[in-house]
Amino acid sequence: MTDGQKRLPLDSETCAEDPESSTPAPANGRAADRLQATGDGPLKKLVDRNFLQYASYVIRDRAIPDLDDGLKPVQRRILFSLHENDDGKFIKVANIVGFCMQFHPHGDASIEEALVALANKQFLIERQGNFGNLLTGDPPAAARYIECRLTRMAREEIFNNDLTDFVPTYDGRRKEPVLLPAKIPLLLMLGAEGIAVGISTRILPHNFPELLEAQIAILSKKPFHIVPDFPQGGLMDADSYDDGRGHVLVRARIDKKDSDTLVIRELPFGATTDSMTSSIEDAARRGKIKIKSINDFTAGNVEIEIRLAPDQSQDRAAAALFAFTQCQVQVSSRIVVIHNNKPVDMTVQSILRHNTSRLVKILQRELLRRKKKLLEEIHGRTLASLFIEHRIYKKIETLKSADEIQEAVRQGMQPYRDQLNRDITRDDIEKLLNLPIRRISLFDFNKNRGEIKSLAKELKEVETDLEAMVPYAIRYLRGLLRQYRSEYPRRTKLKTFGKISERELTKNELTVNYDKKKGYIGHKVEGSQLVSCSPLDRLLLIWNDGRCKVVSPPEKLFVDASLIYCAILDRERVMTTVYESDFFTYFKKFAPGGLVKNRESRFAPKGSKVLFFADNDPSLLYVRYSEDERIKIRQQKFSIAHQPVRGRDAKGLVLTANRIEYVGSVKARNWNDEMNGPPGKFIDSV
């Protein structure tokens, strides 16, 4: 059982409580309290039952497409309405909307919106008038001004009243199809999006000829690979598509017009020229890309011209467009469909295999019906030929009652039973009796025998196809390919994208300064420069009392005057510190590790004083002790190259109990020198 089946049982008759059964009224107040406490009262049952019925209806009859014909109910009703009114001419959309309301129990707005969306996919509905623009996002004209009709593909491939089951409409006045006998994989061709109660689906559109080729591969038992194709074009990386359970990355196609101009020629799925220019302008305001101007010249094709600033390289600008605007979008896919009246999770391959199996069954049913019609036609022509050739009509000239006439014809045809496909019925005799005299007198036996021979030849071909349905289905699919391959080329080109590092693109975007007098740091603070960084970076702050903290690059943050270090956080970087605590001096090597953002931590105990700090791993420490009569050795060299790296919270190792005048990783020329670290990291000497 799939996740979709587990998530929501949709058989309301078995899942809902029986409305006729109700909990007996409690005998006393205490029982009523217990009933209320358990929440199992009549109101809860009523709400549960009604909500389940509502959820089932929304899932099955509104938002989620059916696996068999790939359509939502409103789409199926629109196509059926067009089929019922199809005379080859264009019909006003408003008329189709009105006709469709006989089948659809909701408002006309939802029908019109669904019709326009279906027509803009350009597979099943031919348009005339302004149906909006997928590229610019412009809305369509009013339904009374635009017209539509079925395409040739829709007429030939998705309708067959002989193979369609019908049910009464919501008011019982008409009949509507349960499913359409579609012979093409509409679900993957059109794509679908829908949100129901607790369930959503997003099926990406695919290329029609590629789907046909995949179906041929399925019937030939060969492997195949299918990825989406979007009407807007663009470039696509489908490495993470995972057969419809993952996502694809889609990019705009950007060309270089001249040394300082980029032109967007194709859009990614879901973007419009308006949303694209807005996202680029927003990125420019945030300083992500430097541009002089942006102009939209889109008419029949997309053309958005971007003039770059003189100091902006085209390659970096294109990378910034992909990183910070709608020029690159991630489109997720999650396939949930209705199958056997329940929502199920599926993959692209499983859907296509089901569609292919259904295609074979539909073709087989069509052949069986064609065989039956051919047999009936051969039977009728043979009957007429025998009836006229042997002048059986002469035997009824003197008869008066209908029963006598029926029996006379039956007896007259009996000697020729072996030339017929089946026994003669009363309807057969009625057809013979209704033959006009003119046809009898002018009957052409040679022509009739030729037509019977032609029908028999066609019948033999149908029987041959029925015995080999798979080859017949393959020939049918190849015929569709020859007919439609040139009309539906792939629009979205496949390409593997290199990873764009937003951090790398913005690595020097912010300059963090320090105003030591006021105790503030930030990229909007006037003062000495500390570090250039990206907005995506995290800064490690170190104070001389052993505190440390990780923050995002701030606009303005108070840190007081005891800050000694500020740099981009590197969790694995080994750091070295020497600090005084409780009459002893300790040293420690440690890595910052995982620090919680905006929360102070410590690498030295509370009350400590940091004497030395370095964001590297020196091999030696030079120590100069304060003057003291008890100390004979005033300076020492400590080798710490092989000392282990300890945890940030671990206590350091005792270095000395003497008071220290100077400690550093290099030997100072005189003991009053201050040790300054690399520019932009160390605030002051420790």
Q: Please identify every residue annotated as catalytic.
A: 145
Distance CA 74, CA 566 (A): 61
**Which residues share a beta bridge with 567?**
540
Torsion-angle region of residue 585: left (phi > 0), alpha (psi -120 to 50) or beta? Answer: beta
Collapse the DSSP code of 187 into the 3-class scheme (helix H, G, I; strand E, B; otherwise coil) and give the result. Answer: helix
Residues written for the chain: 686
Question: Which residue's entry shows tokens 């409409």?
Answer: 169
Can you read off the two tokens belonging to residue 559?
A: 């840190």
**Which residues share a beta bridge with 247?**
332
The dihedrals phi and psi of 84, each to the nearest 5 degrees, come to -65, -30
Distance CA 271, CA 655 (A): 64
**Which residues share a beta bridge with 266?**
253
Distance CA 499, CA 427 (A): 75
CA 269, chain centre distance (Å): 10
What sign has the CA pseudo-torsion 564, 569, 574, 579?
positive
Question: What does the angle CA 120 – CA 122 – CA 126 come to, to the nearest 5 degrees?
Answer: 95
**Which residues share a beta bridge with 166?**
177
Half-sphere exposure (CA, 13 Å, Cβ side) for 682? 16
Can you read off the two tokens belonging to residue 626?
A: 């304060």
Distance CA 353, CA 217 (A): 10
Q: DSSP secondary structure string, 270-302?
A: T--HHHHHHHHHHHHHTTSS-EEEEEE--SSS-
What is the CB neighbour count within 10 angstroms for residue 403? 8
Half-sphere exposure (CA, 13 Å, Cβ side) for 509? 21
Distance CA 521, CA 511 (A): 10
Residue type, 186: L
Collapse the DSSP code of 225 into the 3-class scheme (helix H, G, I; strand E, B; otherwise coil) and give the result. Answer: coil
